[in-house]
Structures are given as C-alpha cells and as structure tokens.
Amino acid sequence: MHEPVREPRSSENCRFCGGDLLTSVFDTAFRDTTADERLFFAIPGALCIPCRQLYVDQQLIGILGLSDARCTFAIESDRVLRSPAA
C-alpha cells in the first residue's frame, strides 16, 4: 500500500497571492547557494500560475538536496505523464 502523503491537495491555493495551484509534474531548474544551476525533471509539485511560485514537497526538496536552493525555472512536463510499458 502506498501512502498518499506527497500530493498537494488540488483545492489548495497559493499562500502568496491566493491563486489556484496547478498540480502536475514539472521540469525545473534550481540555483543553489554556490550559484550552480541544477536541472531536475519530472518533479511532482504545484505551480501558481499568477506568481510562478512552485510548491514542492519539503521531503522531496530534502532528498534532492535543495533546501537552500531557489527554483529559477519550472515548466509543466507533459512527456512523463505516461510511463513506458513496464
């Protein structure tokens, strides 16, 4: 059994502007404290369209080592919605 703990609720709103959040999978770029840019693909999250704030699960942020990094780019990824046949 999988625990559904990482998905943001679709009814949540942006904590900055109150806009609706688009829950999807995103290709992202993060810039860390050393100004290195790191790319991550197929990150599950929620994007606020009006202010472009990307919400990603804190546990996932920790796993990726991005606790001190800022998201500089995010685009909805549509090529990962379907996995290859296993």
CA distances to 26, 28, 62, 80 from 42, rounded to whole Å, are 5, 8, 16, 7
Task: Return the structure tokens found at 23.
Answer: 């829950």
Q: Which residue is nearest to Zn ion (CB)?
A: 14
Residue number with CB closer to Zn ion (48 or 56): 48
CB of 72 to Zn ion, least distance (A): 16
Interface with Zn ion by CB under 5 A: which residues? 14, 16-17, 19, 48, 50-51, 53
CB contact at 8 A, 42 and 81: no
Residue number with CB closer to Zn ion (42 or 51): 51
CB of 23 to Zn ion, least distance (A): 14
Residue number with CB closer to Zn ion (50 or 65): 50
CB contact at 8 A, 26 and 48: no
